Amino acid sequence: MPLILGIETSCDETSAAVLSGTGDQTRLDSLVILSQDVHRIFGGVVPELASRAHLTSIVPVAERALADASVTLGDVDAVAVTAGPGLVGALLVGVSFGKAIAHGTGAALVGVHHMEGHLFATSLEHSDAVPPFTALLVSGGHTLLIDVERWGAYRMLGATRDDAAGEAFDKVAKLLGLPYPGGRPIEQLARDGDPTKFRFSKPMVRRNNEEGDADFYDFSFSGLKTAVLNAVRGSDDIERDKAHIARGFQDALIGSLVEKTFRAADAYGRDRIVLGGGVACNSALVGAMAERTSSIGATVFAPKPRLATDNAAMIARAGLFHFERGERSDLDLNAFASQPIPGLVAA
């Protein structure tokens, strides 16, 4: 059985994981995630600081993952490393580290697309979260709606035209004076909010929308953010209104995510919906998704926070898939800020 060491350094988490198994029968032997707190001070990720922090922590993080799995570098069959998309300086730390291990031990090197990793993440926890399914990936950098026919065959249906869903949470949190990252604080605050006080329209959801319309599956959140800004400016008592605005914002954003995902699952006849990315930690989203898609008999799978946010377990899992297909990266593997997901099939 192959043993994979996964490495993830695309943004502000330094992570390493050991995974063994074959096909969908895998075992996560260890997962270490070191989150870089330094960015909180700046209200967003500072790329230069992220690279430097990865550099100081990658070795101990990987050593810890190996030790937790009771294996040594010599046992590793393949090193799966995120090669993009992400912050290039941050990615290069993981890529260089992965190459060094592959070169030194003779293990295979497998470059992994970060978003393909997110597609695999939920299956590590839920054995039924396997293709065919409709995937909604919602993170700080991406909002993607993908029909997954089988592993390695991805039909890209929709994406955000401006801000990512997590980015919208973070920006609105800032407007409301909440800490970064803003997703969790908004979710908590929204629980105390009255949903009828501030109603924002669901972005990109038109009643007469039809499949084939350019905006049928796409998302857009910058207009919603502006609507929130106007509500904040128009409030004569922001302390009183804060929770209501957070609730109105979250309801509108979730409404848009849920509607587009429902359309995709319905159109392609999928009875499984797999969520991924940091915003998938939002229980209001998971609940609303399950409710809206129950009429088509769909089951919603959401990963626990450790697997929803950036982690090396998902990279190891996606890497295993490519490793088992005989795919290898050369030692000249590079890092890419943006990169199309491999295995795209025509929509």
Would you count residue 12 as binding Zn ion (CB under 5 A)? no
Long-range contacts of 104-107 (CB under 8 A, 24+ apart): 104/73, 105/73, 105/74, 105/76, 107/5, 107/73, 107/76, 107/77, 107/78, 107/79
Q: Smallest distance, Å, CB 278 to ligand KG4?
A: 2
Judged by CB under 5 A, the stretch of 58-66, 200-208, 304-312, 339-347 that binds Zn ion is: 304-312
- Assess contact for 274 and 134: CB atoms under 8 A: yes
Q: Smallest distance, Å, CB 222 to ligand KG4?
A: 15
Q: Would strands 272-276 and 133-138 be described as parallel, antiparallel, or unpaired? A: parallel
- C-alpha span between 20 and 69 (Å, rounded): 10
- C-alpha span between 31 and 17 (Å, rounded): 4
- C-alpha span between 258 and 247 (Å, rounded): 16
Would you count residue 13 as binding Zn ion (CB under 5 A)? no
Residues in Cβ contact with 49 at an 8 Å cutoff, skipping those fewer than 6 apart:
36, 38, 39
Residue keyed to tokens 């060094």? 100
The residue (of 73 and 88) whose beta carbon lies closer to Zn ion is 88
End-to-end CA distance of the chain: 35
Q: Smallest distance, Å, CB 93 to Zn ion?
A: 16
Q: Smallest distance, Å, CB 218 to ligand KG4?
A: 19
Q: Within 81-140, which residues bind Zn ion (CB under 5 A)? A: 139
- C-alpha span between 51 and 140 (Å, rounded): 18
- C-alpha span between 309 and 155 (Å, rounded): 23
The residue (of 90 and 264) whose beta carbon lies closer to ligand KG4 is 90
Q: Length of the chain in residues, anyone?
A: 347
Residue keyed to tokens 């319905």? 266
Q: How far is CA 332 from CA 30, 69, 326, 328, in A?
A: 28, 29, 18, 11
The residue (of 87 and 273) whose beta carbon lies closer to ligand KG4 is 87
The residue (of 20 and 139) whose beta carbon lies closer to Zn ion is 139
Would you count residue 9 as binding Zn ion (CB under 5 A)? no
Q: Which single residue brings its beta carbon nearest to ligand KG4?
A: 183
Q: Smallest distance, Å, CB 82 to Zn ion?
A: 9
Instruction: Catalog residues that contact ligand KG4 under the rule CB under 6 A.
Output: 11, 139-141, 166, 169-170, 181-184, 187, 277-279, 281-282, 309-310
Q: Smallest distance, Å, CB 207 to ligand KG4?
A: 27
- Residue 94's binding partner among Zn ion, ligand KG4, none (Cβ under 5 to 8 angstroms by kind) is none
The residue (of 84 and 193) whose beta carbon lies closer to Zn ion is 84
Q: Within 249-288, which residues bind Zn ion (CB under 5 A)? A: none
Q: Within 132-171, which residues bind Zn ion (CB under 5 A)? A: 139
- Residue 160's binding partner among Zn ion, ligand KG4, none (Cβ under 5 to 8 angstroms by kind) is none
- Assess contact for 173 and 282: CB atoms under 8 A: no
- C-alpha span between 28 and 18 (Å, rounded): 6
- Residue 183's binding partner among ligand KG4, Zn ion, none (Cβ under 5 to 8 angstroms by kind) is ligand KG4
The residue (of 92 and 102) whose beta carbon lies closer to ligand KG4 is 92
Q: Smallest distance, Å, CB 44 to ligand KG4?
A: 10
Q: Which member of 26, 219, 310, 314 binds Zn ion (CB under 5 A)?
A: 310
The residue (of 108 and 165) whose beta carbon lies closer to ligand KG4 is 165
Maximum Cα–Cα distance across the chain: 65
Judged by CB under 5 A, the stretch of 98-106, 223-231, 258-266, 305-313 that binds Zn ion is: 305-313
Q: Which residues bind Zn ion (CB under 5 A)?
A: 139, 310
